[in-house]
Chains A and B, each alone.
Chain A
Amino acid sequence: MASAGKGTRGALNLLKNLPRVGLNNIKPLPGAFFKAPRRMGGGKSKRKCGRGHKGQGQRGTRPRLGFEGGNTPFYLRIPKYGYYENHSRRRQYPPLSLYRLQYLIDMGRIDTTQPIDLASLTIGRALNINPKRQHYGINLVEEGADIFQAKINIEVQYASELAIATVERNGGTITMSYYDPMSLHILVDPIGFFTKGIPIPKRALPPEDLVEYYTSAESRGYLADPKEIQKARLALAEKYGYKLPDLSLEERFKMLSIRKDPRQVLFGLGAGWLVDMNRKTVLKPTDPELLEFYKS
């Protein structure tokens, strides 16, 4: 008898020696069928239908929830404070840990031979980014920094200093890039956007409060000066005490140095281009005014 081990293999081995699966021995999952509890009928007080005797309860004239008979109720006595003021307008960056990233790379869900951006992370089902929920991108978190081993060219929206150091120490590159909500919609669901038949818009520049972050070299911003970034890489290596690998000696140097244009949303596709899913072609604008507009 083949041993019943763990997982799919174990289950299939078990099946070999069990009776033939037929219409008479399959069952649903427990709790799949919900049996509604009996409300009325049967019981001592079925005459009143569970509403009690006389009064507001039986007659259905109870006052609103929170009413305390006339005195100022609890929910009005307590003064307001802006804990949640404008919470629905605040930017959110759901976390992606280096631990999970390493796991996905090991399982083959993310291809390290190509630059990694939010589109490839979404396709590999790293996490669920929903622009409608005020998600502005992902935040690379340090959890798993000690076991991280991959050489990647990754583009995220925020990463802490240790996360940047981990990626660079392993011979990779990391960039912080801003996507406005419209561009983010396209990035997390490219095929859904292509089926709309609308030309790819220009990616917007970051808002005022984010300009400083995305132009600074310490945070590896996409608008920063590349020379400053190189200096910052060396400074970080010195700070954390590791030797910065020389990327120009890498086979994958070309792949590691690919960066998106600040106005570009998807790799390989420019602003103003239209992807025709039916005819499998890409249409580019030819009008000089349009070209001028999309270049700016």
Chain B
Amino acid sequence: MLSVGHRGVLMIVKPAKYSKALQRLLVASMSTGPVQVDIPTSQSQQQTDQLTVMSSPDRPILRMVDKTSLPRSRFSQPVYSWLETLGDIKDEKLGMVELHPDVFATHPRMDILHRCVRWQYLYRKINYDFARTRAEMRGGGRKPWPQKGTGRARHGSIRSPLWHMGGKCHGPRGPYSYYQYLPLKYRALGLKVALTVKHSQGDLHIVDTLEIPTTDPEYLEDLVRYRNWGKSVLLVDMNEEISENVCEASAQLNTINVMPLVGLNVYSMLKHDTLVLTLPCVQKLENKLLYQDNRHSHGAKGTITADRDVFGTWPDK
């Protein structure tokens, strides 16, 4: 079953049975794109082109990503995505890519997404607030006036917390780090869930390369608008050496950003409406993310590497 995530489906709706919110959703599902106010409900240019392409028999499913070395459960089926190109504003499909279900159709764990986003926000957060205590405030060593006889309240120091310009009793104490370690398997799972979510909602596009004909940012804007890709786009290439045209064009735009594969993260994927990956990226992502599923966990409960004193060091001669 093809699941490319487009929503051009005809269905018969009985409005009386459904709530208003669901009715709105059902109406929106008959048009393209997710539920958004600013997108017109009439079918866009891109939708018509897609339908004509799909109906032609000359578009084979090209296994462009090498799956031979990747493990797969006998019960799961691959999912598919179009292979597109950025060379022309008009969307031309070059073929179809087979995607591994454990990476692009894993269970949509929203709580994992939340956890990963929260981790990304917190692990590098440092709170620099610092409030001096009465001991650290300048002065305040001498008793301001004698204990008795002056008619005033008794005090021992002019820097006690009661005083104006006195020290803070239980204030923030110096740099405080919010670092937390999120296990590597969780991070990999977060990426998998984010990719799944993007793919199943039709916001993932796979292209052959990120090469565009001009450095004009308008070209990218027109392309995004024509193809109905949403407000913001994240373009991901394999290495840090990305073609100059795309770099220059996206540098002048706020909402279209380019990133090497090593920088791919859950926060960026959710922040941008659309994700565009190049074909070598898909291969590398599948390899890297699936490795975390089946690898030996050093130090896991009950394993030898967790119990350091089981065998000790080299046996004595």
Whether B201 pairs with A15 at a CB distance below 8 angstroms is: yes
Q: Which of B28, B74, B115, B298 contacts A28 (CB 8 A)?
A: B115
Residues of A within 8 A of B280 (CB): none
With an 8 A cutoff between CB atoms, is B117 at the interface?
yes
Q: Which of B118, B271, B302, B315 contacts A189 (CB 8 A)?
A: B302
With an 8 A cutoff between CB atoms, is B165 at the interface?
no
B58 to chain A, nearest CB (A): 27
B contacts with A, residue count (CB < 8 A): 49
Whether B7 pairs with A185 at a CB distance below 8 angstroms is: no
A16, A107, A186 interface centre (most CB from chain B within 10 Å)? A16
How far apart are the CA atoms of A266 and B298 in the complex, in Å?
20
The contact string, 1 if C-beta is below 8 Å from chain B, for chain A 1-33, is 110000110011001111111110011110010
Residues of B within 8 A of A8 (CB): 105-108
The contact string, 1 if C-beta is below 8 Å from chain A, for chain B 125-166, is 000000000000000000000000000000000000000000
B257 to chain A, nearest CB (A): 15
Residues of B within 8 A of A20 (CB): 34-36, 201, 203, 230, 273
Residues of B within 8 A of A1 (CB): 9, 11, 26, 29
A45 to chain B, nearest CB (A): 23
How far apart are the CA atoms of A142 and B118 in the complex, in Å?
47
What secondary structure prevails in chain A residues at the interface with B?
Answer: loop
Q: Which of A12, A18, A191 contacts B105 (CB 8 A)?
A: A12
Residues of A within 8 A of B196 (CB): 12
A29 to chain B, nearest CB (A): 4
Whether B310 pairs with A185 at a CB distance below 8 angstroms is: yes
Residues of A within 8 A of B271 (CB): 22-23
Whether B26 pairs with A191 at a CB distance below 8 angstroms is: no
With an 8 A cutoff between CB atoms, is B14 at the interface?
no
With an 8 A cutoff between CB atoms, is A235 at the interface?
no
Residue of B nearest to A188 (CB): B302
Q: Which of A12, A17, A108, A186 contacts B74 (CB 8 A)?
A: A108
Residue of A nearest to B35 (CB): A19
Whether A26 pairs with B34 at a CB distance below 8 angstroms is: no
Whether B111 pairs with A198 at a CB distance below 8 angstroms is: no
Whether B296 pairs with A17 at a CB distance below 8 angstroms is: no
A1-B11, A198-B314 known; A15 vs B108 contact (CB < 8 Å): yes
A contacts with B, residue count (CB < 8 A): 38
Whether A198 pairs with B108 at a CB distance below 8 angstroms is: no
A288 to chain B, nearest CB (A): 16
B213 to chain A, nearest CB (A): 30
B265 to chain A, nearest CB (A): 12
Whether A11 pairs with B107 at a CB distance below 8 angstroms is: yes
Residues of A within 8 A of B303 (CB): 188-189, 192
Residues of B within 8 A of A188 (CB): 302-303
A231 to chain B, nearest CB (A): 39
How far apart are the CA atoms of A27 and B202 in the complex, in Å?
22
Residue of B nearest to A186 (CB): B304
Residue of B nearest to A133 (CB): B302
Whether A132 pairs with B113 at a CB distance below 8 angstroms is: no
How far apart are the CA atoms of A36 and B74 in the complex, in Å?
46
With an 8 A cutoff between CB atoms, is A284 at the interface?
no
Whether B7 pairs with A21 at a CB distance below 8 angstroms is: no
How far apart are the CA atoms of A189 and B110 in the complex, in Å?
33
Whether B267 pairs with A23 at a CB distance below 8 angstroms is: yes
B84 to chain A, nearest CB (A): 20
How far apart are the CA atoms of A155 and B146 in the complex, in Å?
88
In B277-303, the 8 Å CB interface with A consists of 296, 298, 301-303
Identify 4 new A-B residue pairs, CB closer than 8 A, beyond the known A20-B36, A128-B301. Answer: A18-B34, A20-B273, A189-B305, A197-B314
Across chains A and B, which 4 residue pairs bring their CB atoms closest together, nearest first? Answer: A192-B304, A130-B302, A20-B34, A29-B111
A positions within 8 Å CB-CB of B: 1-2, 7-8, 11-12, 15-23, 26-29, 32, 107-108, 128-130, 132, 182, 185-186, 188-189, 191-193, 195-198
A sample of 30 inter-chain contacts (CB < 8 A) reads: A1-B11, A7-B107, A8-B105, A11-B107, A11-B108, A12-B200, A15-B108, A17-B25, A17-B29, A18-B35, A18-B201, A20-B34, A20-B35, A20-B36, A22-B271, A26-B111, A26-B114, A26-B270, A27-B110, A27-B114, A28-B111, A108-B73, A132-B302, A188-B302, A188-B303, A189-B302, A191-B296, A192-B296, A192-B298, A192-B305
